[in-house]
Structure 1
Amino acid sequence: MIAKDLRSGVEQLGNMIAEASSIVPFTGAGISTECGIPDFRSPGGLWTRNRPIPFDEFVASQDARDESWRRRFAMEPTFAAAKPGRGHRALASLYRAGKVPGIITQNIDNLHQASGFKATDVIELHGNTTYARCIGCSKDYELSWVKRQFDQSGSAPDCADCGDPVKTATISFGQAMPEDAMLRATELTKTCDLFLAIGSSLVVWPAAGFPMMAKNSGARLVIINKEPTDQDDIADLVIRHDIGDTLGPFVGN
């Protein structure tokens, strides 16, 4: 059912939240756009300006690694200035109220943690761009360390321990999905009674399979996204309005 207007959508959503005992939010880039972080696919999005660098290209080419880090450093002021928006704060309110056992996100911006979620309760399917990790031994690095090495040598650094390349702790195209995160997301999805897909175009697989999985496991499915998605027809409620306006009434509840 597509909400006829924002007011009725918020009212229906509120009723579903009140009736639910276990709510699992699943968030995409749309929840962070009001925080100043651009999405990837929309006109003017990151991928319309720069072609994504696949994982195998990153591994094989020093030039690709250098370009990848130049792009990340160029985005640092944007990520550093971003604060949780109304959507993040509303979900954190439901988390504090005991309604949300954990959150599944495609986002890499760390804003759910900043809004009040414990890091262990944020399941990051596509990783996190606020720190770096060796692709070999998995040693973590602060971005400041990477920047110092880059500025000193003029090229992307390798791991100080094993010598393999260091990249942001994100999942690139062609890189294996994090097994533990996928398992935890599957468990949460199959055991919730209300699944909220928020700000995701639902076109990136396997992540896009979770709303359908929740529905097939007996949960009610709500999709909140400005644009239509391929899964709208299976949702119990579709709200095509601004995410901050939709979730704002639930901040602090």
Structure 2
Amino acid sequence: MRTRPTLNWTPAEDLPPGTTDAGPVAEMLGAGGVLVLSGAGLSTESGIPDYRGEGGSLSRHTPMTYQDFTASEQARRRYWARSHLGLRTFGRARPNAGHRAVAAFERRGLLAGVITQNVDGLHRAAGSEGAVELHGSLGRVVCLSCGARSSRGELARRLEEANPGFAPVAAALNPDGDADLTDEQVEGFRVLPCTLCDGILKPDVVFFGETVPPERVERCRALVRDAASLLVLGSSLTVMSGLRFVRQAAEAGKPVLIVNRDATRGDRHAVTRVALPLGPTLTAVAARLGVSVDVR
């Protein structure tokens, strides 16, 4: 289960500090067979905030839970109004140098796969078409009654037509794609049902309090089993949905390397943590390995 995020976790004092030497990253990638596990920190350079970093959204925002969404029509109105507005900005985000570097490593044959905890679709947009989206994608919508999946773009078009003139000013954008709005700002927003069965529509993402589909978890576990090593990019590993793969790799004796500016819950399982910004670091590593990165 993807648990509600918390700010109460603090790193153990006996863990070593992160290094600023990117050499271990280059060595790991140069050896090949690397499985990448990415988190929200990889997308911050694309303008998408993270949850727990400096200025992270959890200091002011509690993400919607599955239980709240399914239990309350008002909660769904609040979610869809905020998400619909947030999509106008979220949907304009483009892959950054970090995403493009990961795609370049994949093209060179250095990766065993990519697992992302992000729901922004930026790995796929950068060219990592086989990336496993652990928590789903905001680019799709699913009906909770009939299970039909459809394009988020199509729903956005329908919501625009149903809510003409809806353009409140948001206080901030959050990593899950919604915007901070007051109850007064979302009042009267019209939520639309499934076009096939009139069921409740939900973004095709794993909400906090919801379980990641077992077949998706097993697919990720298989990637860990087949990989030579695990490279974590921009994740605090606070929630178990990602941490379990770090533990699996470490228990199998496979080296784990983390690139994250702040300490993570997985540091004790890692060979080292590289405390450097992701985009410049991965671009520099690519140059060192002679890997060409798309500079779009």
TM-score in terms of structure 1 length? 0.90
2:192 is equivalent to residue 181 of structure 1: no
Residue deviations 1:102-127 (CA, integer Å, cap 9, x gap): 21110000000011112xx2111111
Is 1:52 the counterpart of 2:63? The answer is: yes
User: Are positions 1:146 and 2:181 aligned together?
Assistant: no
Counting aligned pairs with the same residue, the percent is 31
> CA 1:174 to 1:41, structure 2 compared with 1: closer, same or farther past 3 Å?
same
Deviation track 1:167-218 (CA, whole Å, cap 9, x = no partner) reads 1111111222122211110000122111001110111113211111112112
1:70 to 78, 81, 90: 81
CA–CA separation in structure 1 for the residues paired with 2:145 and 2:108? 40
Distance 1:49 1:4, change over 3 A: closer
SS of residue paired to 2:242: coil
Report the counterpart of residue 279 of structure 2 in structure 1.
Answer: 244
CA distance in 1, matches of 2:118, 2:241: 14
Q: What's the CA shift for 1:3?
A: 5.6
**Deviation of 1:141 (Å):** 2.2
1:49 deviates by 3.4
- Give, in angstroms, the shift of residue 19 of structure 1: 2.0
Residues 128 and 161 (structure 1), Cα distance of their counterparts in 2 relative to 1, 3 Å cut: same
List alignment gaps of at least 5 residues for structure 2: 1-15, 164-188
Stretches of 4+ aligned residues off by more than 6 angstroms: none
1:90 aligns with 2:90: no
What amino acid is aligned across from residue 30 of structure 2 in structure 1? A
Name the CA shift for 1:89/1:62 in 2 (closer, same or farther; >3 Å). same
Counterpart position of 2:270 = 235
Shift, 1:136, TM fit:
2.6
Confirm whether residue 211 of structure 1 aligns to residue 251 of structure 2. Answer: no
Contact 2:233/2:278 (CA < 8 Å) preserved in 1? yes
Give the match for residue 192 of structure 1. Answer: 227
Task: Look up the match of 1:123.
Answer: 132
Cα shift readout 1:57-108 (whole Å, capped 9, x = no counterpart) = 2112111111111121221132222111111111111110112232111000
- Once residues 19 and 59 of structure 2 are traced to their aligned partners in structure 1, the CA distance between those partners, rounded to angstroms, is 32
Gaps of 5+ in 1: none
Name the one with the larger helix percent.
Answer: 1
Q: Is the 8 A contact 1:36 1:78 kept in 2?
A: no
**Distance across 2 between alignment mates of 1:15 and 1:237:** 13
- RMSD of aligned alpha carbons: 1.9
SS in structure 2 of the partner of residue 226 of structure 1: coil
Q: Distance in 2 between matches of 1:73 and 1:48?
A: 22
Q: Is the 8 A contact 1:131 1:141 kept in 2?
A: yes
CA spacing shift, 1:167–1:15, aligned 2, 3 Å: same
- Residues 17, 194 of structure 1: 8 Å contact kept: no
C-alpha distance 54-179 of structure 1, shift in aligned 2 (>3 A):
same
What amino acid maps onto 1:217 in structure 2? A
TM-score normalised per structure 2: 0.78
Alpha-carbon contact 1:149-1:156 (below 8 Å) kept: no
**Match in the other structure for 1:132:** 141
After superposition, the C-alpha distances for 1:148-183 in whole angstroms (9 at most, x for unaligned) are 443527422221223321111111112221222111
Q: 1:44: Cα distance to partner?
A: 4.0
Quick one: distance in 1 between partners of 2:112 and 2:277?
25
1:10 aligns with 2:22: yes
Higher mean alpha-carbon deviation, 223-232 vs 155-164, is at 155-164
Between the aligned partners of 1:131 and 1:4, the Cα distance in structure 2 is 39
Contact 1:193 1:218 in 2 (8 A): no
